[in-house]
C-alpha cells in the first residue's frame, strides 16, 4: 500500500466481523454530513451530534494537555457510541452497553485502520 | 476518606485522578504537576457539553466516557452524584484501571463524599492540594536557580510561538525536568529550551523561537 490518502474503511466488514455489540455505523465529514451508513443507526442525527461534540472533546483534550483525540466513546444507559477520528472524516459506531467500552473502542480503532 | 483515590492514582499508567460533584466542585484529587483541580474542572465542564449532546440521543445520562489522545487518555465515569476523572499515559492496562475505578466507586458508596474543603476549585492555593497527599513543602530555591523574571519572560516569548497552550506545555516541560519556574537551574536551561522548541510544530517557527530566546539572552543574560 502506498502512503498518502488513507484507505476507506469497509463499514459492513466492521459491522459483521468485529464486535457483536455494534448495531450500526456511519461515516461522515467534520461538518456532520453523512457519507455512508450501515446497520441500524439514525446516521443524520448521530453524526450531527458527534460533529458538534467532537469540537468540545478536542478542546477538553487540549486543555488536559493530551493533544489531539484519536478515538473516544460515550456510554449511556442503553447504548454506547464509539467515534474514531480520521483525516477528513470520522466514523461513529453505535452499540449496546458493554462492560469495558474502552477496550472495545481500541479494538474498533484498529479495525478502522486509524 | 483521604485514601479514596490511592489505589487509582497508583495504578500503572495513571498520572492523575479526581472526583467532582454534580456542580463541578472538586471533592478529591491526586494530580501531578502541572495538573490541578482547576484545570481538570475546566476539562470536565467542557465535556459536560458533550454529555448533554449525547443525552439527547438516548434516555438517560452518560455513564462513562473515554478519549484516546496522542499524549494519553482521559477516562470519566459518572456514579450517582460523583464524576470520577482519570488521566493516563497512552499505555495503560484498561482492566486494571477498571478495577481501580470500581474500588473508588465502592469507597464513595461506603464513605460518602469526601470533604470538599481540601480541593475547592477556585483558590489558587488549593491547586496542589490532593486527598491522601500531604501538601508539598515550599520548594527550596537552588543557589544557581534562574531568575524567575527571566523564566517568565521565556514563557512570554514561548506564548508568541505556541499560543494559549504555551503555559501548560511550559509547565509540563518544567515538571519533566523536576523543576518549577522558581527552582529551574541554569544547567537545566538549555535542556528546557530544547524541549520547548521540540513542541513547536513548524520547523521554521522552531528556528524563530530559538533566535528570539538567543536575542533575549543577549540582552538579559541569565
Name every chain B residue with its beta carbon within 8 A of the beta carbon of A46.
57
Domain boundaries, chain A: 11-111
Instruction: Compare A16 and B7 and report the one with higher pLDDT.
Output: B7
| A-B Cβ pairs (cutoff 8 Å, strict) | 128
C-alpha cell at A88: 477528513
Contact A104, A71 (CB under 8 A): no
As to burial, measured by CB atoms within 10 angstroms (0-12 exposed, 13-18 middle, 19+ buried), residue B198 is exposed
Q: Which CATH architecture has domain A11-111?
A: 2-Layer Sandwich (3.30)
Total residue length of chain B: 222
Closest CA to B119 of B108, B131, B132, B137: B131
Sign of the torsion formed by the C-alpha atoms of B209, B212, B217 and B220 = negative
pLDDT score for B14: 92
CA atoms of B15 and B130, how far apart (whole Å): 13
Chain B contact set for A61 (CB, 8 A): 67, 69, 74
Residues of B whose CB is below 8 A from A83: none
pLDDT digits (tens, 9 = 90+) for A50-65: 999 999 999 999 988 8
Closest CA in chain A for residue B44 = A60
Query: What pLDDT shows up at residue B102?
Result: 87
pLDDT band at A46 (very low <50, low <70, confident <90, very high): very high
Nearest to A72 among B67, B71, B97 (CB): B67
Q: Which tens digit of pLDDT belongs to each residue from A31-42?
A: 999 999 998 889
What ipTM score was computed for the predicted complex, to two decimals? 0.86
Looking at residue B76, its pLDDT comes to: 95
pTM of the model: 0.64
Residue B174 main-chain phi, psi, to 5 deg: -65, -45
Which residues in chain B have their CB less than 8 angstroms from residue A59's CB? 46
Average pLDDT over residues A16-28: 79
pLDDT along chain B (222 residues), means of 10: 76 90 88 84 92 84 92 91 91 86 83 48 35 44 82 86 73 80 85 86 85 84 52
Distance CA B154, CA B11 (A): 35
The predicted structure's pLDDT at residue B127: 35
Contact between A111 and A18 (Cβ < 8 Å):
yes
B64/A46 CB distance under 8 A: no
Residue with cell 484498529: A110
Contact A17, A86 (CB under 8 A): no
Q: Do B65 and A75 touch (CB under 8 A)?
A: yes
Q: What is the pLDDT of residue B165?
A: 67
pLDDT at position B171, please?
76
- List residues in chain A touching B: CB distance below 8 A: 45-46, 49, 52-53, 56-57, 59-79, 81, 97, 100-103, 105-106, 109
Of residues A85 and B161, the one with the higher pLDDT is A85
Predicted confidence at residue B121, as pLDDT, reads 37
Listing from the earlier edge strand, what are the strands of the sheet with A89-95? A34-39, A22-29, A89-95, A80-85, A69-75, B64-69, B72-79, B82-88, B14-21, B26-31
* pLDDT for position B114: 54
As assigned by CATH, the class of the B6-128 domain is: alpha beta
Residue A79 C-alpha cell reads as 447504548
Burial A16-36 (b: 16+ CB within 10 A, else e): eebbebbbbbbbbeeebebbb
Q: B198 and chain A: CB distance < 8 Å anywhere?
A: no
Judge: A75–B64 Cβ closer than 8 Å, yes or no. Answer: yes
Instruction: Tell me how many helices (H) and strands (E) chain A has.
Output: 3, 5
Mean pLDDT of chain A: 86
Amino acid at each position: 500500500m502506498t502512503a498518502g490518502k488513507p484507505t476507506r474503511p469497509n463499514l459492513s466488514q466492521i459491522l459483521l466481523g468485529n464486535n457483536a455489540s455494534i448495531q450500526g455505523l456511519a461515516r461522515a465529514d467534520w461538518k456532520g454530513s453523512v457519507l455512508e451508513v450501515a446497520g441500524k443507526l439514525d446516521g443524520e442525527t448521530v453524526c450531527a451530534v458527534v460533529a458538534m461534540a467532537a469540537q468540545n472533546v478536542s478542546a477538553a483534550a487540549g486543555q488536559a494537555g493530551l493533544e489531539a483525540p484519536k478515538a473516544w466513546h460515550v456510554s449511556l444507559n442503553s447504548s454506547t457510541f464509539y467515534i474514531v477520528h480520521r483525516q477528513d472524516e470520522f466514523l461513529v459506531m453505535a452499540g449496546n452497553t458493554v462492560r469495558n467500552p474502552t477496550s472495545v473502542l481500541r479494538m474498533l480503532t484498529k479495525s478502522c485502520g486509524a | 476518606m483521604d485514601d479514596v483515590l490511592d489505589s487509582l492514582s497508583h495504578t500503572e499508567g495513571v498520572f492523575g485522578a479526581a472526583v467532582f460533584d454534580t456542580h463541578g466542585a472538586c471533592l478529591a484529587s491526586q494530580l501531578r504537576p502541572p495538573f490541578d483541580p482547576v484545570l481538570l474542572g475546566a476539562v470536565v465542564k467542557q465535556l459536560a457539553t458533550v454529555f448533554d449532546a449525547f443525552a439527547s440521543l438516548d434516555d438517560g445520562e452518560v455513564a462513562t466516557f473515554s478519549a484516546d489522545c496522542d499524549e494519553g487518555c482521559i477516562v470519566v465515569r459518572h456514579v450517582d452524584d460523583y464524576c470520577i476523572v482519570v488521566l493516563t499515559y497512552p499505555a495503560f492496562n484498561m482492566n486494571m484501571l477498571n478495577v481501580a475505578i470500581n474500588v473508588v466507586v465502592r469507597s464513595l458508596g461506603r464513605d460518602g463524599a469526601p470533604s470538599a474543603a481540601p480541593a475547592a476549585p477556585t483558590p489558587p492555593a488549593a491547586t496542589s492540594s490532593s486527598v491522601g497527599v500531604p501538601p508539598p513543602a515550599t520548594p527550596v530555591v537552588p543557589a544557581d536557580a534562574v531568575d524567575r523574571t527571566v523564566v517568565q519572560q521565556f514563557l512570554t516569548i514561548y506564548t508568541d510561538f505556541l499560543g494559549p497552550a504555551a503555559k501548560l506545555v511550559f509547565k509540563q516541560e518544567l515538571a519533566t525536568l523536576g523543576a518549577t519556574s522558581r527552582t529551574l537551574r541554569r544547567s537545566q536551561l538549555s535542556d528546557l529550551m530544547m524541549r520547548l522548541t521540540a513542541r513547536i510544530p513548524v520547523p521554521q517557527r522552531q528556528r524563530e523561537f530559538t533566535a528570539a530566546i538567543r536575542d533575549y539572552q543577549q540582552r538579559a543574560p541569565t
